[in-house]
Amino acid sequence: MDAISVIRAKRDRGRLTDEQIDWMIDAYTRGEVADEQMSALAMAILLNGMDRAEIARWTAAMIKSGKRMDFSSLPVPTADKHSTGGVGDKITLPLAPLVAACGAAVPQLSGRGLGHTGGTLDKLESIPGWRALLSNDEMMDVLRNVGSVICAAGDGLAPADKKLYALRDVTGTVEAIPLIASSIMSKKIAEGTGSLVLDVKVGSGAFMKNIEDARELASTMVGLGTDHGVKTVALLTDMSTPLGLTAGNALEVRESVEVLAGGGPADVVELTLALAREMLAAAGLPDADPAKALADGSAMDHWRRMIIAQGGDPDAALPVAREQHVVTATASGVLTTLDAYAVGVSAWRLGAGRARKEDPVQAGAGIEMHAKPGDTVTAGQPLLTLHTDTPEKFDYALAALDGGIEIAAPGTDFTPNPIVLDRIA
């Protein structure tokens, strides 16, 4: 077997054999296949695609490159959620303890933000003392004692994906749906969860800009999960507008705690409950009532226990940025556009995100939103408050918002998109 023949096969729109896929992934992980050769194959896959059997084999080969976790010793079923990423997407924070409060175990392996999309671990690290890095034994202890854990994935899970993901990021091949699907699902299957709910974002602030591409990605991932024995369901959800009223790390933690306390923005509550119901049904607990767990305080109790178990202080004051700048409405009327991508880039430029994985983030940086599409606004009223420790970034952040806010004439009939656009199972 050699890399050049595999590259040529896919370049010429051929179907890769199981043996070619297994060898290529293994050889690349070991360093026998060079980065430039895998880059060429990734580009050929982007241009010519893969069929379902090829994607399944590619995913299996990436899983085989590392370890698999096993939660079979837990006394309750496991359920996990994965979001393809968006702006203001803090749903994992209230969702994991909420589902645990309803009787399932949630082993939530999460990541960090890059570019305009936020990262769950960055958000939680704004809580004083909280630790993202846990050993497997520590993770199991938290799951047994609390029911939910949110932490970083270890290096042993699908190491082939870690190497290939970094390569795709710098070679213009991130958009290849077979590679996106296999990247996400190899880690989630290796994680060992019994069921998985996918939150596939659609819109300007999402990776998938249109619903047709989102459906293709969701269907591919649901098929991969099913093929590997993991009960998998996907919701397509709107990301044309940021979720909730905050985008940023500590700002989103504060909003998540409001949801767990029985309040919070309606869209965040709606999506949290929708995903919780899907997770509980997939885990075999369809009669559990997540709305009741929010109302009676049990979800908040699980949140506090989870934060404490990972070294955090749930009562500590969260970081606050040193400087603020208020963006006001330029006219009176109906707010019809608050573009998720524009808000995400602006928050990133304020210091809430990073351009490279090694870049630091500001815990207090981000954006508060005082109105959402469909709201009536008056000229001069606050629309956004920008937060940062580095006020020299305000102009750069404001430039990202150009064209991202639109106000129609008073009385304009406008209906925002629904939160959940479709379900694929």
Residues classed as catalytic: 82, 161, 168, 183, 187
Q: Tell me the C-alpha distance between 288 and 301, whole Å.
A: 17
Q: Tell me the C-alpha distance between 165 and 357, whole Å.
A: 12
Residues near 245 by beta carbon (within 8 Å), at least 6 away in sequence? 88, 255, 265, 368, 369, 370, 372
Q: Tell me the C-alpha distance between 110 and 206, whole Å.
A: 17
HSE (CB half, 13 Å, CA atoms) of 101?
27
Q: Where in 331-419 does DSSP place strands (E)?
A: 333-338, 366-369, 376-377, 382-388, 405-408
Q: Tell me the C-alpha distance between 294 and 84, whole Å.
A: 25
Query: What is the DSSP code (8-state) at residue 13?
Result: T
- What are the tokens at 157? 């899970």
Contact 1, 20 (CB under 8 A): yes
- Could you tell me if residue 93 is left (phi over 0), alpha (psi between -120 and 50 degrees) or otherwise beta? alpha
- What are the tokens at 81? 């959620």
Q: Tell me the C-alpha distance between 8 and 206, whole Å.
A: 33
Contact 89, 201 (CB under 8 A): yes
Query: What is the DSSP code (8-state) at residue 350?
Result: I
Contact 156, 131 (CB under 8 A): no
Residues in the chain: 425
Give, for 323, the enclosing helix (H) or strand (E).
strand 323-328
Nearest to 423 by CA among 288, 290, 271, 314: 271
Nearest to 323 by CA among 385, 384, 370, 380: 385
Q: Tell me the C-alpha distance between 264 and 412, whole Å.
A: 27
Number of continuous H segments (helices) and E segments (strands) in the chain: 16, 13
Helix residue spans in 31-156 (DSSP H): 35-48, 52-64, 92-101, 120-124, 136-145
